[in-house]
Homo-oligomer: A and B are copies of this chain.
Amino acid sequence: MLIQRPIRIEDQVRSLLRQRIQEKVYPPGGRLPSESELAQELGVSRATVRTVLARFAKEGLILRKQGDGTYINERLHAIDTHQSGLRDFSRLIEANGYQATIRTISIETRQASPQEAEMLAVPAGSELLFLARLFLADDRPAIFATNVISTGLLKRLDGPFDGQLPIHQFLQTYCQEEIAYLISDIEATLAAGEPGSLLACRENEPLLKIMETFYNKENRPLLLGISYYNYTILKLRLIQAWG
């Protein structure tokens, strides 16, 4: 039996089909079996297959044609379609074919600025944990990322904190908090100061600057992030399906 109960069937179907696409069991550019065939083969309902395929279509991984069939997007079957560029830098770096390493620049506490206090909805001057990390792609500095979080959210105030964790896992591990959504503002800026030197940029070289706020389901702001991309090493690439 390919599909078994306790785990969500939808997840199993998604993993299985993604794996088959990546391993080219279904040839790039070729056609997938029909929804009914897949449902029958896996012993699940057509509706379940459809929710998985709908998600793939939204990522651009497959192209669906009414009255014809479902085709694998050969242009995207190799690249990362998860918008990881805005949430998991290690994964983004590895998806681009590099070895990802994380260097922790600093983990320290300090007081919130008025602006930080407002964005995090904490009293002015509250204590914040400040985390600065450098992400390297094959040992070349690619992204400099800083995060701040109210120490009031931490379940343990004493370290050590694992600087290798993706930020959403950091929140899970140390705060038992789940991210519901995030807002990203993207700007351009000139290399200068710490980001410039850590990313080994020439003076006044343009950099991408991304400011993020993470919220949980109660709509409470959990975390702020400011990241600097050296886009000459790493593309910030977004895929969007229409409709």
Measured CB to CB, the residues of A under 8 A from B are 29, 60, 63-65, 71, 73-75, 83, 86-87, 168, 178-190, 204, 206-209, 215, 217-219, 229, 231, 235-242
CB distance B181 to A241 under 8 Å? yes
A243's closest neighbor in chain B, by CB? B180
Known A65-B217, A206-B190: A185·B236 in contact at CB below 8 Å? yes
* Complex partner residue of A231 from B60, B187, B239, B242, CB under 8 angstroms: B187
Q: Nearest residue in B to A71 (C-beta to C-beta)?
A: B219
Q: Give 18 pairs: A residue, B residue, CB < 8 Å, sorted on A.
A: A86-B240, A168-B242, A181-B242, A183-B238, A184-B240, A185-B237, A186-B186, A186-B235, A186-B237, A187-B231, A188-B189, A188-B206, A188-B207, A188-B209, A190-B204, A204-B204, A208-B208, A238-B238
Asked whether A73 lies within 8 Å of B239 as measured between CB atoms, the reply is no
Contact across chains for A239 and B180 when beta carbons are under 8 A apart: no
What is the predominant secondary structure among interface residues of chain A facing chain B? strand
A161 to chain B, nearest CB (A): 22
A177 to B240, CA, bound (A): 17
Instruction: Rank and list the top 3 A-B pairs by shortest CB-CB distance, nearest first.
Output: A188-B188, A188-B206, A186-B236
Would you call B206 and A189 a contact (CB within 8 A)?
yes
A124–B238 alpha-carbon span in the complex (Å): 27
Which residue, A75, A184, A206, A237, has most C-beta atoms of chain B within 10 A? A206
How far apart are the CA atoms of A207 and B231 in the complex, in Å? 13
Q: Is the CB of B240 within 8 A of A87?
A: yes
